[in-house]
Copies of this chain bind each other. A is one copy, B any other.
Amino acid sequence: MRRTNIPDAAIRRLPVYLRVVSELAEADVPIISSAEMAERTGLSPEQIRKDLAYFGAFGTRGVGYDTALLARRIARILGLHRGVKAALVGAGHLGHALARYSISQHKDIQITAIFDTDPEKIGTDVMGVPIQPVSELVETCRAKGVKIGIVAVPASAAQTTAELLKEGGVEAILNFAPAKLKVEDVFVQNIDLTIELQSLAYYTSASEGDPGDGQ
């Protein structure tokens, strides 16, 4: 059965499958069963079969999935097979680390431009990628065909940054700024470290828990 849409939740699991099958393919393990995939991902075999079926990867009953084939197929679905260009805005501590991390980790997502407003940072580089003034963002992103924007600026500058990225042709944003972005026709994924850390506190004995649970 062919689908015209894959749920966001399934899309977010595809890179997990991609990691598992890529590692196996590189290790010359040709086949993985959905049971093995479940063990390695912590997801249920049913969930895995359902997710992969969305894009027509059914595997072979009683045998499993061809790891190399599945890796190629997932990469194509995500658009990683030809590499996706990304730009980082905000080369502060977090942005700088994100850039180094991304540049060193991701061959398929390439950080090809970095922007900041700090004159002391402009002209320097992160692992060979020069830090440019934000005034060059739109033109540079258009010229390089940047599709993904990583926003690591202060909350007060986040919305403006997102609008510049859209103007530069960016279609998806990973937002680390603690601010709600409003940009039409741009997919925004937020990662808010404050929220992650504060939420975690609830699960520790520091929390008083719910008013009604007797803690």
Q: Does A60 contact B (CB under 8 A)?
A: no
Q: Does A79 contact B (CB under 8 A)?
A: yes
Q: A199-B78, A201-B79, A210-B2 known; A193 and B98 CB under 8 Å?
A: yes
Q: Does A138 contact B (CB under 8 A)?
A: no
Q: Does A180 contact B (CB under 8 A)?
A: yes
The oligomer's copy count stands at 2
A174, A178, A193, most chain B CB atoms within 10 A: A193
| Cβ contacts A204-215/B at 8 Å (1 or 0 each) | 111111111110
CB nearest to A16 among chain B residues: B195
Q: Which residues of B contact A180 (CB under 8 A)?
A: 40-42
Q: Does A93 contact B (CB under 8 A)?
A: yes
Give the bracket for the number of chain A residues in contact with chain B: 35 or more
Tell whether, in the assembled complex, residue A197 and residue B97 are in contact, meaning their CB atoms are under 8 Å apart: no
Q: Which residues of B contact A77 (CB under 8 A)?
A: 202, 207-211
Taking the closest CB of chain B, its distance from the CB of A192, in whole angstroms, is 8
CB nearest to A12 among chain B residues: B199
A2, A54, A84, A214, most chain B CB atoms within 10 A: A84
Tell whether, in the assembled complex, residue A106 and residue B194 are in contact, meaning their CB atoms are under 8 Å apart: yes
Q: Which single member of B79, B97, B192 contacts A97 (CB below 8 Å)?
A: B97
Taking the closest CB of chain B, its distance from the CB of A85, in whole angstroms, is 8
Tell whether, in the assembled complex, residue A2 and residue B84 are in contact, meaning their CB atoms are under 8 Å apart: no
Q: Which single member of B5, B201, B212 contacts A213 (CB below 8 Å)?
A: B5
Q: Which residues of B contact A204 (CB under 8 A)?
A: 79, 84, 147-148, 171-172, 187
Q: Which residues of B contact A11 (CB under 8 A)?
A: 199, 202
Interface residues of A, Cβ cutoff 8 Å to B: 2-6, 11-12, 14-16, 18-19, 40-42, 54-56, 76-80, 82-84, 86, 93-94, 96-98, 100-102, 105-106, 108-109, 147-148, 150, 171-174, 178, 180, 187, 189, 191-214
6 contacts between A and B (CB under 8 A): A11-B202, A12-B195, A15-B199, A79-B205, A94-B98, A109-B200
